[in-house]
Structures are given as structure tokens and as C-alpha cells.
Structure 1
Amino acid sequence: MVHGNRGYDHCATVAPAVPPGSPASCQRRHRPSSMFEWHLGDGGNPAELVTAWLADNGLPVRDLLRTANAFHPNGVGTPCGSSLYVSAAAGSVMAGGAVGRPSPVPGIPDVAAVFYEHTDPGAGRESGLSQRAISDSRSDSVPWSLGAWEDSWTPAEHAAAVRAVHAAIARGDVYQVNVVGHASAPYTGDPGPSLQRVTELPGARYGGLLAGAGWAIATASPETLVEVRAGRVVTRPIKGTRPATAQGRRELLGSAKERAEHIMIVDLERNDLSRLPGVGPVRVDELFAVRRWSGLWQAESEVSAPIEGGLGLAELLRAVCPGGSVTGAPKLAALDLIAGIEPVGRGAGMGALGWVGTDHVDLGLTIRTVAATDGRVHLWAGGGITWDSDPDAEVAEAAAKAAPIRRALAAG
């Protein structure tokens, strides 16, 4: 595979898959042509390196106001856009924060981009997910089987991490910290159909797949990390969860704790956008709206600002990565605490995955996301911790978020 800011032609090891956030008008008529990869330890600024690579491929990422006003070409051979993935660790590097423990999926790049060109309708390679992309040594004739899940920490250790955040809040180090757990399970057979089921979970705004040689990421994320469209930059943080029942909705809307936690993150996202060069006044367009993801209600807000001057993709990534709703406030202090209390790195979870096009950028936050590599599937789940958080309730919330993904992977 390719490291640094070099690409390779034909993308022979990239599995055909629907890229998260890609325009519906382009699906089934675009093909991958080259790929960028960056790993921790490669050196350089990953935000600038991937931006330069995308610009070299003809995408207007140096000036996102130009991107928002660009004409979208669609003739055969014209640029369609690029998938873009940024791990949580790479996001921490971009932000200047602590990276945390080693990733349990070290074979997956920390930044990956796949560039697509338009082709004849129906000739694209994005449908399905080939087993060869996960492991050349496995046979399609082997039945799919998912083994027992192994958690990186016990419920008691998860609860202890919540209490550690309480202590940090009491010291005045932080106001809120998102604590995330990891689990993995062995598998045999072709993971493609199960990964596809993950992407189709109800409420998966960014449902899709990205794959390379020996690895794949499948996301069912409902959360917008950042979107640039029609001259505005937008983020839609999600904080607050209850079962998707009538009672759960009432509890979520009536919870002072959930609302306070949510507003802290909205304020953090307002601050992130206000730090961007070339943007106008930041506003909250919608506050604490209740949306459904799979069997859960979740609270979502929308924060936006107009682009009025020079703003490039590198500056955007450095400001919004890693996402405030999966780090905490203040962000850098939260990253320091996370690095000390989480037992393994966040890998493909809690990063960014989406689309950089000729006329827009749309990146989802990689919550509700699975990675498959080396005969194992991995997932991450957690929640925001405030002074009022109950440790046992936080453990239960993380399990509730992971449960639909575990069921989708086990099916079939």
C-alpha cells in the first residue's frame, strides 16, 4: 500500500463499495482511480498532505467558498470526488492533542482518500464488497460465522473510567469527556454481507463502506461532523440517548442532565467554527431536536456559519477533528484525559468518513462504525460524561449503542 502523499493508479485493491456521503447522482457511474494513505509515524501534517493530494487530483479544496460555488461536471472521465477517512488519532494530530493508546487495527491507515472519476452509467465498481479486499487467503465458500465478542475493558473498568472523569471535573480540568470502549470478535467467511447490513441500519445518514487491501470500514453513522454546501459550513452534534419509545422520547426531552451535556458540546462546536478563517457569524440553527437511529432516540443540533473569505480543507480539518461530541470540553484537555483512561486506541471509531466533491464537502463522524481486518471485526461505543453521569447508566448506554451493530454483524 502507499504511504505519504503519493497515489497509485487503478486502485486495484480497493473493494467496490458505496462511499459514505457520495452523491446519489454519481452512484453506479463512478470508478476509483487512485488512493492516498497516511499512517501515524509517516511524518508531515496529514491535513495539509491530503489536501494537497486532493488538489493535485483537480478538486477545489484550497478555497471551499469556490468549492461551494463550483460547477459539478459529470462527463465521462471528469472528476467526481473523493472518499476521505480520518482516524481519531490522526484528528488528534491535526488538533495538536494527545493521540492515545495504540490502535487495535494498526493495518488500517490513519488517513485514507480514494479519488473517483465519472464513467459510463452502470459501469462503476461501487456495488458490493469483495472478499478479496479483506483477505486474499479466505475462500468465499467458507460460511459466515462470527465468534464471541471480547471487550477491551469490563463493565467495572468502564464505570471506573466514568468516576475518573468525575474526579477530573471536580479538579476543574474538564467540563465533559466522552469515554469510549472497544470490542472485537473473530470471524470466518465473507464479511461483506454483514458489513453491508451495518450500513443499512435505520438512521444511518452516512451509511457506506470504504476498503483497502486487507481492511474495510463500514459505518452507520447518523452524525455530521462537518458539511460545506452552498457557501455555509455546518456541523450537527449529537448528544443524549434514550430508547426509541414514547417514554424514552419524553425522558430525553425532559432530562436536565442530557440537555446540559448537549449544550456544552454545542458551545464547543460554536467555538470550533468560530476559529475558522474566512467565516462569518456562527449561529445555532436548531437546538436539541430528537432524531431516531435504529432503536434509539438521540438529540441533535445544527450549528453553522457563512463562508465569506479564504477557507481551505486543511484548516477545516484542523478545526473540527476530532469531533467535539466524541472528545469533550475543553477539547485538548479532554484528549489528554482520554489518552490516559481508555485501554486501547479508537482506531476507525470516533474519526471522520465521508465525501469531498467538486461542489461540496460532507464528512460524517465515525460513531456506529465497524472495522474488519485480519479475521476480526472491531467496534467502538461510549458516551459523554458530566458531573451528573451515573457510571452504571453510562455502561448501559454504550451497550445500547453497540447492540444494533452486533445484531447486524451476527445475522445471516
Structure 2
Amino acid sequence: MDSPKSTERMRDDGPDGVETLPGLGVDTPGAPAGCRRTLVERARWQWWPADGGDPAARAEEFLAAHGLPLHELARPAGRHDPGGVCGAALYVSAAAGAALVGAPAGAANPVPALPEVAVVVYGHAPAAPRPGAAPGTHWWRGDWTESWTPRQHADAVTAVRAAIGRGDVYQVNLVGHAAARYTGDPLPALRRLAALPGARYGGTLAGAGWAIGCASPETLVELADGRLITRPIKGTRPATAVGRAELLASAKERAEHVMIVDLERNDLARVARTGSVRVDELFAVRRWCDLWQAESTVSAAVADGLGLADLLRALCPGGSVTGAPKRAALEHVAALEPVGRGASMGALGWVAPGRVDLGLTIRTAAVDADRVHVWAGGGITWGSDPEAEVAEAAAKAAPVRAALAGG
């Protein structure tokens, strides 16, 4: 079956219009703050699995063809040209990441208009920036329809624990989905979401018939001063004094967290200078909205000859939203999750020569022509309690849903 737009039919020489949603402007996470008001879209490339080919390689080729060579990330960035190409928004879905590592695709994307990879190249406006979009129509959002019941979610947790008991995996991240009808302009709601406290990768991206709003606190990969940095998050408690103490004292949360840190160390080692991988900070407690979360920082020196495509193949999808071992965990994800991960658990951010800054799309929503979609989940280990895991996913989803409330 044909994809919504094949690679061959995508416009490589100009911006792709938003057909059913209002334009959101340039609000991509990681875009240079000093340039955002003067950026204009120059070109766009999108990919669906039916298009075939290696999406990481094709994205790198498309960027190079439009003035953004990213085949040598170790090369220092050149002078920023205020009259030329600035950089590009890059979105890579969890499903695309699974394809890059040869894992099963899993359930269908509940937002079929949404591509699995999108690259949007931006240049600087030659004159004053264009005025923003007119005020949107009244926003109304209906009730949420869940992809699984709490019982079904708990049963999936139990199934993962059984797989761990058999030795199939050590950890699997399970994600649930919900959707609601809406009318009106989604822009204000998505921007409210992107502005949630602790949203290091707060921002939006839009295309024909779709838009993403992201409030992620988690760094999938950042390139800074010749080093690749990832900041995996694993471990959650309410943002109270008691919750913080519980998180720091939890042997289960720490074991789950360290397991993912080790996975990220191994992923970075595949694209790093030999012997350069290090853990700069372990199990630091950070706040996102009304939750404490445990975060570590892992870094490595960029290997000579490393390009963007190889970096995406090594790190996507992120270990904190897959499990360990990654390929085996993704097989269980594909078997157990009833709805695809869509815009969630992928990567969204900014790329330019000498610069990569991609957030992991947790705490993320997507809209199509008439529905808004959200996802939330958590890592399952042998020590997981099914009811507690269901409650944790609900706690993560609550601020996202509140930001998208109607009225």
C-alpha cells in the first residue's frame, strides 16, 4: 500500500504546506534562540516505511544536498551565516528507530498522517520576520479513549516479568496511548504543553495534517565541544520531600536506572573514540512538573568519520524507552503494545554542522485533523509491581493531559 507521500514525490526544493492545521511557526526544540524569529522553511523531506530505503542515510543525504553536511560530526562548525542556511529540525519516530536496528515494527501508528522521519531545513529571512498566525479558533477537547484498560496494562507488566524470569530480557519499557477528539486551533494547547516546567526540549513541529508538541526533559544525544552527551532518565516519584527520599533509597529504581546507563554507555561506545566513554553524573534527581526523576549524564568523544546516519543507527530508539537488551526488548514491545508509539519515544530537535541536539520524545503529544494523541509508560523490571507501574504511567501523563485541556 502506498504511503501518504512517497520519498520520490516529496518536495526537495521547497517547504511542504500545512493543509489542515494552522502553521506553528519555528518553535523546534534546540533551534538557536537568536535565530528563531527570522527563520523560514527552505526544504522538507519526510519518510514512511512504505517508501523503503535507509531513512538515516537518506536524511543525511538530504541535509547535505541543502547545505548542511553532517557526514563528519567531529569537524568543527564553521562560521554561522546569517544570510544562509541555519540548520534543520529533525524528527525520528520510535518506529523508525526500531527499523534502523532491525526490530519488529509493532502496532500501527495511530496518527497515519504523521511521517516516521521528518527533516525541515531552515534559512534566515532576508527581511523582517513575517507576522505570526492569527489568533486561533476556540479549542475544545473531548474525553480520552485509552488504548488499554488498567487491567490490560497490568497484565502486560506481568507478561514482561515472566519474560524476565525466563531470561529473555532484563527490562522492557511499556507505553500506553490515549486519544481524544478536538475542534479548533491546536496551537495554543501544544504550546502550553511545550512550556511545562522542566521541558528541556519544549517545542513544536508541524506538517501537512499533523503537528507535534513536546515537553521532554530528556536528552537523547547532544554534540557539544567535540563530545557526544546522553542523559537517560529512569526512576520517578512525586515531587515531595518524601518522594525524593523514596527515589534515592529505592534499590529497584537504582538497579533499573543503572541498567539503562550501561546500555547507553554501550551505544555511545559504538560511535565514540576508543576509551573515551565516561559517566559524568549518576542518578541525579531532577524535577519535571510535579515529579522527581533520576537522570544520569554519559558522554564520549566523537569518533573521526562519524556521520549523522551512523549516530542515529547507534542511539535510536533511546535505551530508556526500549529496555535491555534493546533488540529483544523491542520484540516484546511490538508483541504487547496494542497501539503504535507514534510521535512518542522517538527523537526531536535540531541539527547543523558541528551541532546536534535531540531530545527523546517523552511527555509528547501529536494532533491530526480531528484527534489529539498522548502516550506514557515506564520501565518494567523483575521488581516491578503491576499496579504501581499503571499508577506511574498515569502520573506522567497527567500534566500532559492537563496542558491539553479544553475550554
Please confirm whether the aligned pair reaches a TM-score higher than 0.5, indicating the same fold. yes
Residue matched to 2:118: 112
Residue matched to 1:46: 55
Please, which of 363, 366, 370 is the counterpart of residue 368 of structure 1?
Answer: 363
Please, which of 71, 80, 88 is the counterpart of residue 78 of structure 2?
Answer: 71
Paired with 1:55 and 1:279, the residues of 2 have a C-alpha distance of 27
Work out whether residues 24 and 187 of structure 2, in 8 Å CA contact, stay in contact via their aligned partners in 1. Answer: no
Residue matched to 1:328: 323
**Bigger Cα displacement from structure 2, 247-256 vs 278-287:** 278-287
Paired with 1:329 and 1:72, the residues of 2 have a C-alpha distance of 41
Do residues 286 (structure 1) and 281 (structure 2) align? yes
Work out whether residues 28 and 204 of structure 2, in 8 Å CA contact, stay in contact via their aligned partners in 1. Answer: yes
Residue matched to 1:228: 223
Please, which of 336, 340, 354 is the counterpart of residue 359 of structure 1?
Answer: 354
Residue matched to 1:183: 178
Residue matched to 1:244: 239
CA separation of 1:3 and 1:282: change in aligned 2, threshold 3 A:
same
Write the deviation string for residues 95-145 of structure 1: whole angstroms up to 9, x where unpaired: 1111111111111000001100022575167x66x79xxxxxxxx54x311
Do residues 88 (structure 1) and 97 (structure 2) align? no
Paired with 2:274 and 2:228, the residues of 1 have a C-alpha distance of 8
Moved over 4 A (4+): 277-280
Counting matched residue pairs gives 398
Paired with 1:89 and 1:385, the residues of 2 have a C-alpha distance of 20
Write the deviation string for residues 316-360 of structure 1: whole angstroms up to 9, x where unpaired: 000000000000000000000110011011111101000002330
Q: Secondary structure at the match of 2:404?
A: helix
Name the TM-score, length of structure 1 as normaliser.
Answer: 0.93
Residue matched to 1:208: 203
Write the deviation string for residues 282-334 of structure 1: whole angstroms up to 9, x where unpaired: 10000000111111010000111012411000000000000000000000000
Structure 2: gaps of 5 or more residues: none
Please state how far the C-alpha of 1:31 moved relative to its aligned partner: 1.0
Name the TM-score, length of structure 2 as normaliser.
Answer: 0.94
Q: Secondary structure at the match of 1:41?
A: helix
CA separation of 1:394 and 1:122: change in aligned 2, threshold 3 A:
farther
Residue matched to 2:7: 4
CA separation of 1:349 and 1:79: change in aligned 2, threshold 3 A:
same
CA separation of 1:308 and 1:10: change in aligned 2, threshold 3 A:
closer
For 2:90, the aligned partner's letter is L
Please, which of 370, 374, 381 is the counterpart of residue 379 of structure 1?
Answer: 374
Please state how far the C-alpha of 1:395 moved relative to its aligned partner: 0.2
For 1:50, the aligned partner's letter is A
Do residues 26 (structure 1) and 35 (structure 2) align? yes
For 1:51, the aligned partner's letter is E
Structure 1: gaps of 5 or more residues: 132-139
CA separation of 1:122 and 1:257: change in aligned 2, threshold 3 A:
farther
Paired with 2:247 and 2:130, the residues of 1 have a C-alpha distance of 43
Please state how far the C-alpha of 1:10 moved relative to its aligned partner: 3.7
Q: CA RMSD in A?
A: 1.7
Residue matched to 1:59: 68
For 2:42, the aligned partner's letter is S
